[in-house]
Each structure stands twice: as C-alpha cells, then as structure tokens.
Amino acid sequence: MSRVPFLLCLVLIQGLWFAMATSAQQASVAPAASPAGSPPTASSPPQPAPAQISPLPTASPPSPPSPATQTQPAQPVPQPPPSAAPPPASPVVPAEQVAPVELTGVLGEVVLGPGDARLGHIVDVLADSQGRLRAVVVDVGGFMGVGNRKVAVAWAALHFAPSDKGPVISILIPADRIKSWAEYIPGRPVAILGATGSTP
C-alpha cells in the first residue's frame, strides 16, 4: 500500500515535466502572434513590403509609310544625243594640165654635144635632200656598150629646146672633157661636171 502514492507522485511529476518541455519547445520554434492592435515587440521587427516592379513598356513596331508619303526617286533628265562633228574640209590641192609636147621624161633621153653630136643618154637623175635637181648621170663613150662610162653633169648645164617630138636636150661642154671626167660610182663622192666651182 505504500508504493501506490509514490507511483502517483511520479506520474504527476512526469506529466508536469512533459507539459513544461512542450511549452518551452513551442516558444523557441515560433513566437506567438501578437493580438490585433498591440504594438510589435522588439524581438520581431516589422518586415518591409516587397517593392512592386512595374513592367517595361513595349515599343510597338513602326507602321509602314503610306504610298502617298513615300518619296519617289528623281528620274534622270534625258540628254539630247551629241551632234556629230562635221567632217574636216578637204584641203585644196592645186593642179594644172600641160600639153604633152611641153613635158618629157629625161630617163633614156639622148644628150647632144656641141654641133649636135651624140654624147650619150641619161640613165639617172640626182636630187639633194631638199628635192632640188642637182645633176643627171649620162652614159657616154664606148661602142655597143663596151668602153662606156657614167658621168654626172650639172642640171643647170642642160639646155632644152622644143621640137616636134618634144624637148631636145643638149650641153655645151666639149665631148673630150666629158669623156675624161671622173666616173660616177654610187655610194662615193660625186664630181658634178658643169656645176659652179667645177673646172671645165
């Protein structure tokens, strides 16, 4: 009978200890909410309200310009075609007409000496760098092409006389002087008989 009150006392103590431990645990985990209208305690400072972020305005896409407001590109002004330059005028070239009896070719023509003796015939014509006739080459002497020689005779020493068959060419230099004159050789200095400064 003596152990029953002891057990009861032990049960009561354990119940009180359990109740105290439970209350202490609840107080440490979450503080009790303060009643409405009561000022907040120092242990629970007021939390600031989260700031509200307003959404950024979205830009609307530009509307295409209307056909009336679109600028048209400037059209190039057509240029007139350039007028063709007139052709240059043809130069005026003087000309004349001469009777055939007044002209003759000298190549191959016979050259007469004093007394109308036949000296030879002209085989070439010599001109200077300015186009002036300086001499003719006369093939003199010989017989049937044997023993002949070529001599340069000044153009000024020739005399032209008209005839029915054309001009007659003659020179007044003696025949022996012509036949003894230096022979004309192409490519070598030319000794012109009858020119100014030559010995007759």
The letter for the amino acid at 174 is P
Helices (H), the chain: 3-29, 175-179
Structure-model confidence comparison of residues 18 and 142, the more confident one:
18
Nearest residue to 192 (alpha-carbon basis) of 168, 176, 173: 173
CB distance 171 to 155 below 8 Å: no
Q: Which residues pair with 137 in a beta bridge?
A: 124, 152
Residues 6+ apart with CB under 8 A from 192: 126, 134, 135, 152, 153, 154, 198
pLDDT at 55: 54
pLDDT at 132: 92
Q: Is the pLDDT of residue 39 over 60?
A: no
* CATH code of the domain covering residue 129: 2.30.30.240
CB distance 119 to 171 below 8 Å: yes
pTM for this model (two decimals): 0.50
Domain membership of residue 61 (yes or no) is no
DSSP secondary structure letter of residue 101: G
pLDDT at 146: 62
Domain membership of residue 81 (yes or no) is no
At 17, the pLDDT band (50, 70, 90 cuts) reads: confident
Residue range 173-197: mean pLDDT, rounded? 87
Domain membership of residue 162 (yes or no) is yes
**pLDDT tens by residue, 63-103:** 665 655 556 667 777 777 777 777 888 888 889 888 776 77
Please, what is the average pLDDT of the chain?
A: 75
**Residue 121 region, left (φ>0) first, then alpha (ψ -120 to 50), else beta?**
beta
CB distance 31 to 42 below 8 Å: no
Domain membership of residue 8 (yes or no) is no
Domain membership of residue 49 (yes or no) is no
Domain membership of residue 96 (yes or no) is no
Q: How far, in Å, CA of 7 to CA of 13, rounded?
A: 10
Domain membership of residue 66 (yes or no) is no
Domain membership of residue 152 (yes or no) is yes
Nearest residue to 136 (alpha-carbon basis) of 174, 164, 178: 178
- How many domains would you assign to the chain? 1
Q: How far is CA 40 from CA 18, 24, 35, 50, in A?
A: 30, 21, 9, 19
Residue range of the domain that includes 124:
105-193
